[in-house]
Amino acid sequence: MLMFLPIVFALAANEPAPAASSAPATSTAPATGGARPTPLTEIGRVRALPACVPIVAHANGAITQALDNDRTLAIISANLHNTDYDKLNFLQRRNAVEALMKQAEAMRVAASAGDAEVKKLRDYAKASPDPKRQQELKTFADALGGALYRQKKAAVEFMRDITIMRGREDAAEGHAMMDANNPHPIVRDAVATSQIPQTSGPAGNVLPVPPTTYNKQFQYLGDTLDGLNAGILTDEGIAADHSIAATAGC
């Protein structure tokens, strides 16, 4: 059984990693009073100026991965919030969580693929002889890379938190089996005992208390992912604002 315990989720730490290949971009623009970021879309025909075909190809490759991850993240969040995990049996719950893990892994892989495209864009930026276009392309690449970085981080931390929850579930089942088969009380160390809700079982044995709710734990994970999504959309908005200038004028 899964123990209903406080878990310090690493997802809550939404800090960019130093020196990452796609570290989140930072914007010097003033706050817009809650204005929504510009939606990120694939780059189509660039009007007025000829498009830089190789740059557009790599840009669209990264954008496609980012947009696919946006959809995957939304699906994961919707399932975490809307599935009634309390009504699922053990096998059904395991299958549902495994599906979420596969989606998160697909998100991680897509983010890495998008990052490879972003590195090509940075190379084009360094090689550009036009300082203005160089800056536009670098800003675009850094922002798009930042969104992909945040998506990858969300996926990795989500999978880690699910693994922690599964480990606690397995440990609780192991303790329950030991207590049921041992006629004498089991004395556990103070740290473990203080963290596991307990009640008296047959012959005075200490048994874990069944979980109050699975839904609360999974909904908390969904809320955390939604919070991380705000940073992703901000980076995508910066990329969208610079996409035309970055990919036109060759």
Q: Which domains, ranges and CATH numbers included, belong to the chain?
A: 48-247 (1.20.58)
Tokens of 231: 């940073």
Q: What is the spatial distance between Cα 136 and Cα 128, in angstroms, rounded to a whole number?
A: 11
pLDDT at 62: 98
pLDDT at 185: 54
Residue with tokens 């049996």: 89
Tokens of 194: 């203080």
pLDDT at 173: 56
Total residues belonging to the chain: 250
Contact predicate 248/128, CB 8 Å? no
* Maximum CA extent, the chain: 83
Per-10-residue mean pLDDT of the chain, 250 residues long, equals 38 42 45 74 68 89 98 97 94 95 98 98 93 95 98 96 79 56 53 43 41 82 95 97 88
pLDDT at 174: 54
pLDDT at 36: 86
Tokens of 122: 């940075």
Q: What is the spatial distance between Cα 218 and Cα 76, in angstroms, rounded to a whole number?
A: 10
Measure the CA dihedral 133/26/111/167, to 10°.
170
